[in-house]
């Protein structure tokens, strides 16, 4: 399988003291840490010097119009779930890195589809790797300046998506040029539906997570973006919104009232590429909606036979 390597060369010239941006970050970090200690907030900080893209856009009507099935209110939900460890089995694919390209919307949609494939095939031992670059270059759902993960899911439902090796990620706006056999090796989602579009409905999201991970939007505050290291994020006073981000919720924990979330900023960021965030405080679901991928179809190598592996 093809992969792409990125090399970063950082040269800093000192004329005395720290560069202005670093000095500002360190001064702001002192304030954030004081607030964390004062309010006894359950997260730790570091300076995230390597900036990653955001890029979720929210000014269109959601492409996903179907409401996800409601969980029976008479049936108790488990106190916790984590699709990285379901009875000792990991149904989540490895954390990827979008780098500076604002393609979080593509990684959110792809990450959810990959996990649903593993769940419905019951193959935690396999890690399907689908092409985010195809969504960036071919779907019309967005580009490196931002996009819509609902429209990305709609594209996968209608057209499918090729594997990573067929159109490898470049973190740039390439022309649409997947490999020649792309039409023969596509994976298509069966359907997708929204869980909540405006308000964060904790019970509805938890119910959706019983079937598999959920692709979601979130508001990004500067304290989380610049300083999150580990723990359960709760924004500090004075934090300001930097933009919107698309991620994948892989679980929750009632004991700490938090979501467990897969990011797309590489495995070295946060908690091995993941973070935890207190629910009902940070726009999870929010104005960009919450998309729930219901199932997948997988097209055979011959490009003729379609095998249904989605939910009935």
pTM to 2 decimal places: 0.85
Q: Which two tokens stand for residue 244?
A: 């919107």
The H-or-E segment that residue 291 falls in is strand 290-299
Nearest-CA neighbor of 295 among 162, 193, 155?
193
pLDDT per residue as tens digits for the range 149-173: 888 988 998 899 999 999 999 999 9
The H-or-E segment that residue 247 falls in is strand 241-253
d(C-alpha 170, C-alpha 98), whole Å: 9
Residue percentage of the chain with pLDDT more than 90: 54
Most distant CA pair in the chain: distance in Å?
67
pLDDT per residue as tens digits for the range 54-105: 888 875 555 555 566 665 655 789 999 999 999 999 999 999 999 999 999 9
pLDDT in the model for residue 130 = 95
- Residues assigned a catalytic role: 104, 245, 263
């Amino acid at each position: 399988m093809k992969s792409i390597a990125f090399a970063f060369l950082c040269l800093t010239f000192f004329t005395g003291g720290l560069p202005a941006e670093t000095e500002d970050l360190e001064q702001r970090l002192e304030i954030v840490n004081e607030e964390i200690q004062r309010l006894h907030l359950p997260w730790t900080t570091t300076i995230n010097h390597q900036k990653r893209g955001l890029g979720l856009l929210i000014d269109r009507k959601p492409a996903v119009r179907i409401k996800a099935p409601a969980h029976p209110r008479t049936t108790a939900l488990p106190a916790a779930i984590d699709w990285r460890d379901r009875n000792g089995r990991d149904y989540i694919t490895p954390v990827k890195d979008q780098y500076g390209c604002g393609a979080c919307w593509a990684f959110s949609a792809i990450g959810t589809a990959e996990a649903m494939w593993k769940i419905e095939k019951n193959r935690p031992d396999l890690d399907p790797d689908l092409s985010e670059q195809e969504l960036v270059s071919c779907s019309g759902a967005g580009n490196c300046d931002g996009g819509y993960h609902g429209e990305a899911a709609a594209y996968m439902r209608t057209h499918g998506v090729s594997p990573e090796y067929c159109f490898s990620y470049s973190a740039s706006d390439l022309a649409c040029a997947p490999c020649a056999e792309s039409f023969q090796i596509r994976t298509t989602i069966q359907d997708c539906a929204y869980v909540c579009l405006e308000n964060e409905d904790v019970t509805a999201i938890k119910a959706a997570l019983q079937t598999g991970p959920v692709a979601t939007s979130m508001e990004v505050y500067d304290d989380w973006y610049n300083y999150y290291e580990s723990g359960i994020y709760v924004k500090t006073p004075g934090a300001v919104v930097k933009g919107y981000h698309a991620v994948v919720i892989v679980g929750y924990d009632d004991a700490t009232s938090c979501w467990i979330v897969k990011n797309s900023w590489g495995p070295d960021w946060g908690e091995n590429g993941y973070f935890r965030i207190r629910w009902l405080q940070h726009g999870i679901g929010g104005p960009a909606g919450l998309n729930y991928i219901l199932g997948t179809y997988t097209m055979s190598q011959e490009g003729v036979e379609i095998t249904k592996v989605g939910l009935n």
